[in-house]
Amino acid sequence: MRKRKSVPPPPSKFFRFPEITVGNFIIEKGDIIKIDGEWGQRFKFDCLVTNKETGAQWIDCFEVHKMRTGVLRSFRLDRVKRIPKRRGKRRAKRGTSSTTS
């Protein structure tokens, strides 16, 4: 069998970028976000999409239900809410001070 020639994909009018800035925070691909108006649902951010011809922008993200990804959905940028990343539990510092003199 002969090796087939690969054909380059046709040029797309959409530009995808894997991160966005909301307020002073950067949301990267895979971060969990909430969408204004979508009550009780969380989404996993995928990318920021820009139409090169019209200049329209939106985000693509996946629904998350019970920590499993689901359907791909698209929303306008003004509806994004950031969910802060969880911090680890802080351990109390134990000092070796004696109060008896």
Domains identified in the chain, total number: 1
Predicted pLDDT at 99: 61
6-43 pLDDT per residue, tens:
888 888 899 999 999 888 888 899 988 898 888 888 89
Q: Decide if 97 is inside a domain.
A: no
pLDDT grade for 3, boundaries at 50, 70 and 90: confident
Asked if residue 41 is part of any domain, the answer here is yes
9 occurs within a structural domain: no
Segment 55-101, tens digit of pLDDT? 999 999 999 988 788 899 999 999 988 776 666 677 767 766 556 55
- Bridge partner residues of 72 (DSSP): 62
- Any domain includes 6: no
Cβ-Cβ contacts under 8 Å for 34 (sequence gap 6 or more):
41, 42, 43, 81, 82, 83
What does each C-alpha distance from 18 to 76, 83, 91 come to in angstroms?
Answer: 15, 17, 35
Q: Domain of residue 35: give its range.
A: 14-82
Please state whether 64 falls in left (phi above 0), alpha (psi between -120 and 50) or beta: beta
Is 95 a domain residue? no
Is 4 contained in some domain? no
Instruction: Identify the residue with better confidence: 90 or 3.
Output: 3
Domain-embedded: residue 70: yes
Question: Considering the domain boundaries, does residue 98 fall inside one?
Answer: no
